[in-house]
Amino acid sequence: MHVVETVSRVREDGGPAVVGVTDDRLVVVTDASIRDVDLTRVTSVRATIGTTLGVRLRDARVIGAVGYLCSIVAFLAVMAVARNPLSPAVTMLAMGGALWFTHVRPHGLLVGGRTVTEHFERFRPVATLTAALRRVERRFAGEAGPDPLTRWVAGGFVLVPFAATVGLEGVSLAPLFVTLTVGSFACVGYAIRHGDEFEALALVRRRYARVDVAVEQEQSLSIRTRPDSSLRQALRTRTAVPSPVSSDPAVD
């Protein structure tokens, strides 16, 4: 193989493929098939340089808006399917617990410059409990946070209302919608805490090279690859047909 590249197919399903070029063969391997083309049967090779326009969704406002919208829809779904009048109120408690948990999880809850755990660790039973919580966190998460008491209490405000919903509703759609509501609200809290780490919305232009290979009595092969790909040059030097290069992005 002189050239081996991973490309995307323009036609068919647009899925990925691996293309290889030998002295006299063009081999295209996909998940479902292998296509072997004799280069002497290639009638034309055309290379086109174009661009695609995409959107980079790296903005905390987008995540927050999606989280708010999904939480509202899920909460309305809870109200629609709930069989017990207490279920919506319990769901609100779970949403508040999720927001509290996402707020206190990284650094804890500071009171007077110290975390809640630091205030209560001077009592021996609380210190023993805190040490046990930290061991559990290290075992399952790999590290322990600075304020395990607050974090576990906040987690309880999520799990207890959820368990109450399961008890009130039994096996129904309400517990599922409660889970979606809590998860969406947690996304809102995450977006608020990490807002400074996100970039604004942006339109992104990506250049690509489209290579169209026509074969005698067979369907032509159209693929997209990198603009600096050596595939075009390999096909041009190993076939007897010209390989014009165009910069018109309209060819798609």
pLDDT per position as a tens digit, 162-207: 788 778 777 667 777 777 877 777 777 777 666 665 555 667 788 8
| Distance in angstroms (rounded) separating the CA atoms of residues 77 and 49 | 49
Q: Where residue 145 falls among pLDDT bands split at 50, 70, 90?
A: confident
| Distance in angstroms (rounded) separating the CA atoms of residues 25 and 91 | 63
Q: What percent of the chain has pLDDT over 70?
A: 84
Q: Which of 180, 210, 249, 240 is nearest to 38 (CA)?
A: 240
Q: Say whether both 235 and 213 belong to one domain.
A: yes
Q: What is the value of pTM for the model shown?
A: 0.43
Q: Which of 2, 9, 14 is nearest to 221 (CA)?
A: 9
**144 within some domain:** yes
**How many Cβ atoms sit within 10 Å of the Cβ of residue 70?**
17
> Do the beta carbons of residue 218 and residue 94 sit within 8 Å?
no
**Number of domains into which the chain is organized:** 2
Q: Say whether both 107 and 182 belong to one domain.
A: yes
Q: Say whether both 66 and 50 belong to one domain.
A: no
pLDDT of the residue at 120: 82
Q: Dmax over Cα atoms in the chain, in whole Å?
A: 86
pLDDT in tens, 86-104: 888 888 887 777 777 777 7
Which structural domain range is residue 29 located in?
3-54+206-246
- Across 214-233, b (16+ Cβ under 10 Å) vs e yields bbeeeeebbbbbeeebebbe
Most confident segment among 12-16, 35-39, 89-93: 35-39
